[in-house]
Structure 1
Amino acid sequence: MKLEIKNVTKKFKEKKAVSQFSMVLEIGQCVGLIGPNGAGKSTLIKIIADILHTDEGEVLLEGKNISKMKREIGYLPQYPNFYEWMTAKETLLFMGQLSGISKKELIKEIPIMLAKVGLSGEENEKVRTFSGGMKQRLGIAQALLHKPAFIVMDEPVSALDPIGRREVLNLIQEIKKETTILLSTHILSDAEEICERFVIIKNGLKIEDTTMIDLISRNSKPVVCVEITPNDKFWIDIVKVLPYVKSAETIGNKVKITLDDIAEHKNKLIQNALENNVDIIRFEMDNNETLEEIFLKLVVGA
């Protein structure tokens, strides 16, 4: 099953929240839609969930307009809105019937779903007694109840405390084994932990669509980090003029050295240090930027 977003544009008055946005989501993927607040993530998620309609473009699932395929989409808003006086079981019964599931089927499926999201034994508790993490897990149960092929999540952990956040992240890790996920977030560590593919959005425009491996490899640098003793700082001046060294940056007793070619020249660098009787405390590769560093470069520098 394939989800296609084709040249989607959405305006609010004169402001374009999403502009000519296109992407394809294949079944079995967990994709992070990442961008700063106000980038257009929530608007795009609501368009995919058929809550908002496009001004231009279309969203297709298996070649059919998303409005005809809503049964195949599960949606978790940033702040799930439940009736606080209902119990967890009553909430899922109510939501499930709205989705067209029979009461008989729901009575069988609800205990299974509550167990799946870690809410066994809480089915008769009022939603108003739930913590933020529990409400979010109930929201995930509601989104999965009709067994959708895809689930879209809008900032699922941004409003949670560290414990609730970890509970929900662990749950998403389990869900992605059997359900395709599109997850919007501005918390980069979460996206890095959960997703294999990243779509970066800025001012409603897609500026990157790649995998973590490709993103890191394209932004990798031939850098080594050498820690030396205070008595060996004289070596830094020697390093700076070596023909295969592009730059050397000093941070305390550490020297961050950029080489022309790390595979070819790292051993030469070690040999030079030994020839100058430099005491190397630590020598390590430092050639990968974090997702956060790459994100800031793309979003702030783009």
Structure 2
Amino acid sequence: MPSSLKLITLLLCLFLSAVSSLTTSYYEDTCPHLQSIIFPTVQLAIKNEPRMAASLLRLHFHDCFVQGCDASVLLDDTSTFVGEKTAPPNNNSLRGFEIVDKIKQDLEAHCPKIVSCADILAILARDSVVLSGGPGWEVQLGRKDSFSANKTATNSLPNPFRDVEDLLEKFKNMGLNVTDLVALSGAHTIGKARCSLRAGPANQICLASENAYLDTTPVRFDNEYYLNVLAGKGFLQSDKALLSPPARDIVQAYARDELKFFKDFTNAMVKMGGIETLLGAQGEVRQSCRKINEIQDCKLGDASMCGKSLKN
């Protein structure tokens, strides 16, 4: 290959890499009112039900940890396709899908076919933390939505019954470290879990079918979670596991210094939000977060699109 052609090819690759990477200003020109469209809906949802903040944050976690931050968790099952919603880690704990639907509809009215569902989940996670009294951060944007889901891969989600070694292995597989593990576990400062998941003999204080708060300040995002863990009041086995090395020292640091927790949490959220993202032609911008665009085209009468890209 002539040297001039090699240079052109290299410059083209660098250009494509630059334009397809995540950036905080991705929608600056194409959907400049993005934040003002999303935030009021999240604010109202959390005002009506404070627990919704934890649910929306959880959606982003469960999306990124399976096959990357690609909104695959939002896909509904069809007669020819099985998504991730019915997998055991998701089927009895994920909620808030109707909030995502509402926001997507609003965005399609203002910026049609522009904002991906994967980016919506990342923004919802940040806004939910902020509206619960926690820290904010600049969300990296530009993800595309997947054409498929992977129900089997939900076994990559951290297990609430595991010890710190197993949890750390799950996080390392996603490019995250022990600091990220302990910081992201702090998301348990808001929300609830099923009593059947509770660690130890304290299971008897609530029925298995009921939910209980994970923290003594359950609607405020703060460092109380770490104080509870140090006091032996961790709700889940995965919470109690953080008392083991190498996590314990970090738990103690966050219990002493809320600002340090906030700093590490926001850094970890940005790192997690970059896991195996789809860029450019690797994905699409779904018009409905519940189904890939080909399914919608099929329903509109384009038979050539039926069944395309519907592999598990």
Name which one, 1 or 2, has greater alpha-carbon Rg. Answer: 1
Larger strand fraction of residues: 1
How high is the TM-score relative to the length of structure 2? Answer: 0.21
How high is the TM-score relative to the length of structure 1? Answer: 0.21
| Structure with more contact order per residue of length (Cα contacts < 8 Å, sep ≥ 6) | 2
